[in-house]
Amino acid sequence: MDFTEIAEKRQSCRSYDPARTVEKERLDSCLEAARLAPSACNAQPFTMYAVTGDKAKELSDHKNSGMGKFVEDCSTFVVFVEDSYNAMAKTGSVLTGLDYRSIDIGIACAYLTAEATEQGLDTCIMAYFSNKKVQEILGTRKKIMLVVAFGYRKADDPQRPKKRKSADEIVKKI
Q: Reduce the DSSP state of residue 134 to 3 states and report it.
A: helix
Q: Give me the residue spans of the domains in the chain.
A: 3-170
**Tens of pLDDT, residues 82-96:** 998 888 888 888 999
Residues 67-126: pLDDT tens digits? 888 999 999 999 999 998 888 888 888 999 988 999 999 999 999 999 999 999 999 999
pLDDT, position 138: 96
CB 149 within 8 A of CB 121: no
Where would I find the H helices in 61-166? 62-65, 87-96, 100-118, 131-138
What amino acid occupies position 89? A
Architecture of domain 3-170: 3-Layer(aba) Sandwich (3.40)
Verdict on whether the full-model pTM lies above 0.85: yes
pLDDT > 90? residue 65 = no
